[in-house]
Chain A
Amino acid sequence: MIEEIVKDISKKLLIMQPVDFSDIVGMNAHMERLSPLLSMDSENEVRMIGIWGMGGIGKTTIAKCLFDQFSQGFPARCFLENVSKIYRKGGVSSLAEKFLSTTLGLSKKKMKGSGVKLGPQEIKARFGCRKVFVVLDNVDDMRQMHAFAQESSWFGPGSRIIITTRDKGLLNTYGVRTVYEVKCMDNDAALQLFNQLAFKGALPPSELYEKLSIRASWLAQGLPVAIEAYGLFFRRMTSLKEWDDALCRFIEAPDESVMEILKISYDGLEETDKNVFLHVACLFNGEPLRRATTLLDDGVLQGCLGLKILAEKSLIEITASGYIKMHNLVDQTARAIVNQESMQRRHGRGVLWNPYEIYELLKRNTVSTYSVYL
């Protein structure tokens, strides 16, 4: 009898698959590339897959879709959103608690009442032989990974562990060999997403609007979170004049909300790396890697190591031909940081790039201690 009920329900739940992603621009392509990486057929190994990319690129959304599509049928499954935030609020034990309570389907009260000890050992004991599907979203510290498991063998054969992060170095350290890099959207997809939001799914009302929308979506440089922010912003603009003004504003500096998301990666850097980052943004974006390394390795900045870290944290990209590439919005965010910090500093600016400002300073002969690269 009970078996009948259970069979009935699990059958009905399965019929609700598959999930339709066609309304999320670009998602089908991600799913097609990711599904072979998951290799769902191999039932004996534990597979860990890292989803890596810069802030706002859509890692969480991709992981959600993966979870919806593939986690059904796993005896235990869990999507832990924003691991970094849970960890900062309540530490390792609160991560373990959240993981256990969601996976086992127990209420928090019950967990406390049952006196379950919360930690990686408890997870190992309970999940050592169980097949799990787990998404750990937004991990930015090794200690967060260790809150769940010291190694992949702590989960049962056939398990799938998906980790989203901005930090590729963390994936390497943890031994995650399969890494899916999320790249910016191409122009067509970006424009499609922008128009969806700015014109509420309709087409641009005239050719002029169409041209403006191409320019506006181009400003976001294929970064989904920025396309969304701009799309929603332009939705409120009703005349061509307003569109024009808004465009000028975003050429100057990106939207606040976008900068905040991009700044998270900067805030997580060590002081020296922060400094390298600001120098790269203001002086070396688009320059050959070798030039930047030589100029930055001055005994203070450790440019070589710094650039490697920035690349791992997806703040810059080193192209195949050896050039440094920084996303335009990241570059703009960095310049905003320099401006802000120099306003708070008594001794003037940290990095100078505007020739006029440099001239003014040299004229007044107030440059001290630090060199100017041109």
Chain B
Amino acid sequence: MASSSSSPIWKYDVFLSFRGEDTRKNIVSHLHKQLVDKGVVTFKDDKKLELGDSISEEISRAIQNSTYALVILSENYASSSWCLDELRMVMDLHLKNKIKVVPIFYGVDPSHVRHQTGSFTFDKYQDSKMPNKVTTWREALTQIASLAGKDFETW
């Protein structure tokens, strides 16, 4: 009962995963504003500033402490290993029932996401030094594409 720890017991309602260059100026900024206005506590990570090899501890903690993950799948999402790492973590938690996931297909074909074709092609990862990692990314994309999501093209 004592107040011994200084880390806030913060829980986010929503974690936003997105590719900044595709979505920062449009869907993400609107979405974020509206969520915040509604009182939904949202973690928005703009990866402009990311350095290093894997997602930071701060991001991974934020994901683990979120009730929902909104994943905005846009044209260049799969060309960022950051986004894919984030997605894999989200989907791992989803399999354990620890987070609810809502995919948003923003101008992309869900079947391209599912099969990693079209703009979601994995050609650039063909010669990757970490084939295991690439496999888990593929799995994560296939999993998220099979969830009920929102499709911007058909709405």
- Residues of A in contact with B (beta carbons under 8 Å apart): 1-7, 9-10, 12-13, 16, 55-61, 64, 72-82, 85-86, 89, 98, 102, 104-110, 113, 137-138, 164, 224-225, 228, 261
Contacts and interface: CB of A to CB of B under 8 A. Distances in A.
Interface in B1-18: 1-10, 12-14
Given A9-B40, A10-B40, A164-B3, 7 more contacts: A5-B31, A75-B36, A76-B36, A77-B39, A79-B8, A109-B58, A138-B3
A321 B59 CA distance: 57
Contact of B39 (A10, A82, A89, A107): A10
Contact of A105 (B5, B8, B42): B42
B85 interface: no
Task: Give the size range of B's interface with the partner.
Answer: 35 or more
Contacts of B89: none
Contact of B40 (A13, A113, A164, A224): A13
B21 interface: no
Interface of B: 1-10, 12-14, 27, 30-31, 34-46, 48-49, 58-59, 62, 67-68, 70, 100, 102, 104, 150, 152, 155
Interface centre among A2, A3, A85 (most CB of B within 10 A): A2
Contact of A2 (B2, B30, B41, B49): B30
Given A1-B150, A110-B49, A105 B9 contact: no
A261 B2 contact: yes
B68 A9 contact: yes
A106 B32 CA distance: 11
9 contacts: A1-B155, A5-B102, A5-B104, A9-B102, A56-B2, A86-B6, A105-B36, A109-B49, A113-B49
A360 to B, nearest CB: 39
Contact of B9 (A13, A64, A228): A64
Given A77-B39, A113-B49, A102 B2 contact: no
A3 B67 CA distance: 19
A1 B104 CA distance: 11
A10 B44 contact: no
B102 A6 contact: no
B1 A9 contact: no
A12 B40 CA distance: 11
Contact of B43 (A6, A16, A75, A105): A105
A228 B70 contact: no
Nearest to B151: A1
Given A3-B34, A81-B8, A110-B46, A13 B13 contact: yes
A224 to B, nearest CB: 5
Contacts of B12: 105
Contacts of A137: 3
Given A61-B1, A82-B5, A2 B27 contact: yes
